[in-house]
């Protein structure tokens, strides 16, 4: 019983990381109507960037966020501005295939530079530290930290979207990009900024992922699938829904793992497929997908 409770809590906290994965994806889909097939690979790229900084400098991995986030944000901005903005239009094929191309390039470049070996970032004591909740239940300090960061990101995004003029422009562009440009909004610039923002969030996710677990160049696509599943389970348009959906996915996986180690990831997929079958609009949809 205690073990089960621990498993559930562990899954809930894992949801924090998954919601970070999903938030970046739902940002780019919500504003640009584009699924970035390299989403998971860019998260892993951030992990490797952090690694590349830690190896020569030997600093605490958390500090790498200061460099990795801006670098990835700039990379996202440039990719959108120079390449992806050229693929936008009514056809969904070009952005999908171009980002798939990115995915292949990133994975194989990482493979060439770092080899297929599994890597990890060591953050020291924080990784194993735990917080004692009750006599029998303790939670890892790091997973709680990740959850707090996920919540913080969502709060910050809500503030951006609803209390700033940039956020207003994001929402208008997402509603109707043609009328938005009629109103003087440079929609291509909006897309580039949105992508930079999404990539920054992916960078945070990547660094945290690298501390939490091991990674290798081929680990990207699975993260895309998780992010995607969370977005579908949660429903479009609701940031808090994404957090809840992340927790649902996390718990599905940990309970599945608890029943049989080979069924962890599979349980997540099955939960997703079940929800897709019976409630395709997601559990907490806020907007209709246009």
Q: Which is nearer to other proteins, 94 or 120 (CB)?
A: 94
Tokens 């994806």 -> residue: 25
Q: Which is nearer to other proteins, 62 or 100 (CB)?
A: 100
CA torsion angle for 96, 97, 98, 103 (degrees, to 10)? 90
Shortest approach of other proteins to residue 103 CB, angstroms? 8
Shortest approach of other proteins to residue 12 CB, angstroms? 22
Q: Of 200, 243, 275, give the one whose Cα is nearest residue 18.
A: 243
Lookup: tokens for 173:
């562009």
Shortest approach of other proteins to residue 201 CB, angstroms? 19
Give the integer Cα–Cα distance in Å for 53 and 25.
26
Shortest approach of other proteins to residue 128 CB, angstroms? 29
Q: Which is nearer to other proteins, 65 or 79 (CB)?
A: 79
Shortest approach of other proteins to residue 40 CB, angstroms? 11
Q: Which is nearer to other proteins, 2 or 222 (CB)?
A: 222
Residues forming the site for other proteins (CB under 8 A): 29, 33-35, 37, 83, 86-87, 91-98, 100-105, 107-109, 111-112, 165, 168-169, 171-172, 174-176, 178-187, 221-222, 224-225, 228-229, 232, 260, 262-263, 265-266, 269-270, 272-273, 276-277, 280, 287
239 and 158 in contact (C-beta within 8 Å)?
yes
267 and 256 in contact (C-beta within 8 Å)?
yes
Q: Which is nearer to other proteins, 48 or 228 (CB)?
A: 228
What is 224-268 written as a DSSP string? HHHHHHHHHHH-TT-HHHHHHHHHHHHHHHHHHHHH-GGGHHHHH
Shortest approach of other proteins to residue 228 CB, angstroms? 5
Q: Which is nearer to other proteins, 100 or 284 (CB)?
A: 100
Phi, psi of 26 (to 5 degrees): -70, -25
60 and 123 in contact (C-beta within 8 Å)?
yes
């Amino acid at each position: 019983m205690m073990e089960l409770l621990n498993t559930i809590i562990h899954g809930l906290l894992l949801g924090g990381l998954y919601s970070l994965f999903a938030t970046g994806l739902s940002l780019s889909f919500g504003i640009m109507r584009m699924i970035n097939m390299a989403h998971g690979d860019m998260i892993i790229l951030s992990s490797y960037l952090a690694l590349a900084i830690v190896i020569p400098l030997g600093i605490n991995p958390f500090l790498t966020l200061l460099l990795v986030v801006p670098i990835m944000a700039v990379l996202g901005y440039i990719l959108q501005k120079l390449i992806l903005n050229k693929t936008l239009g009514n056809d969904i094929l070009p952005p999908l295939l171009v980002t798939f191309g990115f995915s292949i390039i990133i994975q194989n470049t990482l493979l060439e530079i770092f080899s297929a070996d599994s890597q990890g970032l060591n953050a020291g004591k924080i990784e194993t530290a735990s917080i004692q909740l009750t006599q029998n239940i303790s939670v890892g300090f790091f997973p709680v930290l990740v959850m707090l960061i996920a919540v913080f990101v969502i709060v910050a995004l809500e503030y951006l979207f609803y209390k700033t003029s940039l956020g207003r422009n994001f929402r208008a562009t997402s509603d109707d990009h043609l009328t938005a440009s009629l109103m003087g909004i440079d929609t291509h610039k909006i897309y580039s900024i949105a992508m930079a923002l999404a990539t920054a969030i992916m960078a945070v996710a990547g660094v945290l992922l690298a501390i939490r677990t091991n990674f290798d160049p081929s680990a990207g696509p699975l993260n895309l699938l998780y992010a995607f599943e969370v977005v579908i389970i949660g429903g479009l348009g609701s940031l808090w829904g994404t957090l809840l959906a992340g927790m649902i996915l996390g718990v599905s996986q940990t309970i599945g793992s608890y029943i049989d180690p080979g069924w962890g990831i599979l349980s997540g997929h099955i939960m997703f497929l079940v929800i897709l079958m019976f409630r395709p609009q997601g559990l907490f949809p806020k907007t209709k997908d246009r």
